[in-house]
Copies of this chain bind each other. A is one copy, B any other.
Amino acid sequence: MTKYNFYAGPAILPKEVMAEASKSALELGDTGLSILEMSHRSKEVAAVMDEAQASVYELLGISADDYDVLFLQGGASSQFFMTAMNFLGQDEVAGYVDTGAWSTKAFKEASKFGNASIIASSKDTNYNYIPKGYAIDEASKYLHLTSNNTIFGTQFQSFPDTKVPFICDMSSEIFSRKLDMSKFGVIYAGAQKNLGPAGVTLVIMNKEFAAKTAREVPTMLDYQTHVKKDSAFNTPPVFPIYVSMLTMRWIKKHGGVEAMQAKNEQKAGLLYGEIDRNPLFHGTAAKEDRSMMNVCFLLHDETLTDGFLSACADANCIGVKGHRSVGGFRASIYNAMPEAGVQKLVDVMKQFESANA
């Protein structure tokens, strides 16, 4: 029986991607070697790196003339400090919009390097909405945003109207919807939600923005080190990049980012529809800021929580337990989650309603 994986991350990947990854862990094509033992300087792995990079350009509709695309290690957590270390001078100003735990961490790391300040926050209501209508210092070097908040199930539906470029953590939504790329100085994303297994971080940098490095930093922490060597200054995380490449191949085969968005809107609509209809449940995020990726909801009667989690498990819907800072339930419905999985969860909710009528 199929298990539907609603974990927030590491998270579901397309079945055919995992099948191909499994095959290549035994032998990549007819090379006689596993992808796990192949030199990053071999022509086969170089081709993987090239295709991965080219796919990012293609999927986002951006050009190598304007953007650098890197595959780094260390997770989005390393990008919190690397972005500030590379781009925020001691006397420069950066604005941080605080929409949850990850934003807060990004801000804390940046504070060590320059004048970072939180210019808006939804902390007062446990981050259940995206702040709007705040003042932005147009002299800021950048504005840092977490475009989708995995823990709290909120998402920027539109982005601030400003000339200040964004540095944006898109870990839990990369390649899930069409965006106006011109507003972003840097986008970073840990792979382990919409892109691949844990162990690689995608970084997309506008060249004009990224050229303005502020201070001397260790070689490995300087983005330009990796730009110059196409992410192979040192040994890259070959297998996580390979699987990410396969996922991007899968996205392209299934119509690209626009098709993903259409499917994601349909899935999210189905699940939020049931949350709003079913008298037992209610959503936690403000309706206008609801995430298409992470759907957070509660039972009105919280004594039924364990019962609903059991019902989900019985129906092979796993990873539905909410993060401790919100409680209740969280269904992560990334690109790779089929509509059948969401329908299954909706069915469980309906049955639970009947059983507890």
CB proximity of A243 to chain B, nearest CB, Å: 6
Of the listed stretches A9-17, A124-132, A151-159, A297-305, chain B binds A9-17
Select which of B85, B109, B233 is within 8 A of A77 by beta carbon: B233
In this complex, the interface size class of chain A, counting residues with CB under 8 Å from chain B, is: 35 or more
A22 within 8 A of partner (CB): yes
Q: How far is the CA of A40 from the CA of B193 in the complex (A)?
A: 12
Partner of A237, one of B5, B36, B237: B237
Some 23 contacts from A to B, beta carbons below 8 A apart, are A7-B37, A10-B38, A10-B235, A11-B37, A13-B34, A19-B26, A21-B36, A22-B22, A22-B34, A25-B25, A32-B316, A73-B74, A73-B199, A75-B234, A75-B235, A80-B218, A109-B219, A112-B218, A197-B238, A198-B235, A198-B239, A199-B238, A237-B237
Q: Which residues of B contact A277 (CB under 8 A)?
A: none
Q: How far is the CA of A40 from the CA of B33 in the complex (A)?
A: 28
The reply to whether the CB of A8 lies closer than 8 angstroms to some CB of chain B is: yes
Chain B residues with Cβ under 8 A from A39's Cβ? Answer: 7-11, 319
Binary CB contact string for chain A from 251 to 275 against chain B (1 if under 8 A, 0 otherwise):
0000000000000000000000000
